[in-house]
Amino acid sequence: MGEPLDAAVGKALFDKLWVAAPSSTHSSDGLGPLFNARSCATCHAGHGEGIVPRDASLPAQSSLVLRLGGEAGDPRLGLQLQTAAIGGFEAEGAITQRLVISPANPAGGAGARLSRPVFTLHLSDAAIDPAGLAISARRTPALTGVALIDRIDDAAILAGADPDDRDGDGISGIARAVDGGVGRFGWKAGEPHLADQIASAFSIDIGLSTPLRPEASGDCTALQTACRAAPAGAAPGETEVTDTMIAMLSAYLQTFRPRAASGDAGAGARLFGEIGCAACHWPRWTIAGDAGDFEIAPYSDFLLHDLGAGLGDDAATGPLAREWRTAPLWRTKGAGARSGLLHDGRALSLDEAILWHGGEADRARTRYRALSEDDRQAVLIFLETL
Ligand code: HEC
Ligand code: HEC
């Protein structure tokens, strides 16, 4: 089968609305029983980034998800709060948010109205105290260039890691070792390859089994016994989603191409390097291709960094609570307009996103603030061209 055809089938799979099993269309059933959305496209609308509404009541199927209980998940609710369920089952809960103006914004001026969402959980199981749950909010990221990021060598990411800050620049990038390689997908670099990320989405977000994650009941925990016993959409020994389907989805994701890398000329690009942004947002990577090596410009080192308490996960402890993967900066122009920027969509502009940087990025932010108004604008305009 030719690649364009694979991509077309992949797009159909990306848009497909899954239904509960058993149904008359076996190729589309197996949803849930607990889930967040019925299709990839529900969350990854448009260029892939989701829509995070600003009002207090997040709709049940918002493209923002809440991870629970640190990287291991919560023993009762699993890795993620599922806000929807098939008939006969109850969703785990609902989320509301309120915006809080940051009290920790010392600078005033441009960043005076930095705000961030604080989430309240309304759990169906009254026996679970939401106050005791560590939560990590994650908005749906754009899918720009994910198939290229997949092709970066583990060794190349590892070569840039500096977990103990040996070079003393105040920046300690951690390469996240996960099952199957060096993590690079997701806000905390939790998945190493595109196939793993897709299998994880099917399992946790939609409740479907794949050869990489064969449990038919998705994110149901051992304590959620009814959920575990729900009918599967595949015969015993088979999975609801096959490796072929994952390959087609991967082919479709290849069509989310970044814009051609522009030359890094100009004042904005120079300043971006001078004030220390490029220390984490590494411009370029070399990838081995069939027709020789080629360069990509994602502007990320794919390492984890502590960006300070202001960006840390609410109530979360543990080694990753304040660590985030350097967000790639190649985006379609205007991306973030509907979803906001940063992991929970809190920043409404590029300027706000930069002013939230603290911790290892504190020096870069301070130097950004110290720029003249014209120079700050040059940096922002440069970011818009990526
Ligand atoms: C409920 C909403 C939701 C659904 C449904 C969903 N995603 Fe996602 N997707 C997300 C979120 C949130 C993240 C970030 C996850 C994290 O940080 O751990 C993400 C991350 C990704 C990434 C990694 C992007 C990056 O920059 O690292 C890819 C690729 C992806 N999703 C593909 C898919 C595919 C393919 C499907 C369908 C099988 C899908 N997603 C279904 C919300 C969703
Ligand atoms: C110490 C590493 C580090 C430095 C230095 C750094 N960043 Fe970041 N940047 C990150 C990380 C990590 C994130 C993701 C944080 C999050 O979502 O909570 C990020 C996110 C961003 C985003 C939001 C992207 C999105 O899609 O949401 C922008 C824009 C950005 N950085 C620009 C800059 C600029 C401009 C500079 C220089 C003033 C800079 N960064 C310096 C690590 C860094």
45 CA distance to ligand 2 middle (Å)? 23
What are the Cα distances from residue 331, in Å, to 124, 131, 146, 218?
Answer: 38, 36, 11, 31
Residue at token pair 């169906």: 124
Domain span including residue 360 = 3-384
Calpha distance 324→303 (Å, rounded): 8
Whether 220 has a pLDDT exceeding 90, the answer reads: yes
pLDDT tens digits, one per residue of 261-309: 666 679 999 999 999 999 999 999 999 988 999 999 999 999 999 999 9
pLDDT of 262 reads 64
Calpha distance 302→160 (Å, rounded): 9
Whether 46 has a pLDDT exceeding 90, the answer reads: no
| Nearest-CA residue for atom 42 of ligand 1 | 140
Calpha distance 14→339 (Å, rounded): 20
Calpha distance 354→39 (Å, rounded): 32
pLDDT tier for residue 26 given thresholds of 50, 70 and 90: confident
pTM: 0.95
pLDDT tens digits, one per residue of 299-336: 999 999 999 998 998 766 678 889 999 999 987 556 56
171 CA distance to ligand 1 middle (Å)? 28
> Tokens in use for 38?
């019925």
204 compared with 315, residue with greater pLDDT: 204
Whether 1 has a pLDDT exceeding 70, the answer reads: no
pLDDT tens digits, one per residue of 90-134: 999 998 888 888 765 555 555 557 888 888 899 999 999 999 899
Average pLDDT over residues 336-351: 84
> Tokens in use for 286?
């070399």
* Ligand number, closest to the Cα atom of 342: 2
Calpha distance 119→167 (Å, rounded): 38
The answer for residues whose C-beta is within 8 angstroms of residue 26's C-beta and 6 or more apart is 233
pLDDT of 261 reads 66
Index of the ligand 2 atom closest to the CA of residue 187: 17
Amino acid found at 298: P
Q: Which residues line ligand 2 (CB under 6 A)?
A: 171, 187, 275-277, 279-281, 305, 307, 311, 324, 326-327, 329, 336, 341-343, 350, 353-354, 357, 360-361, 364-365, 368, 379, 383
Work out how many domains the chain is built from and give that number: 1
46 compared with 263, residue with greater pLDDT: 46
What's the chain's length in residues? 386
CA 326 to chain centre: 11
Whether 171 has a pLDDT exceeding 60, the answer reads: yes
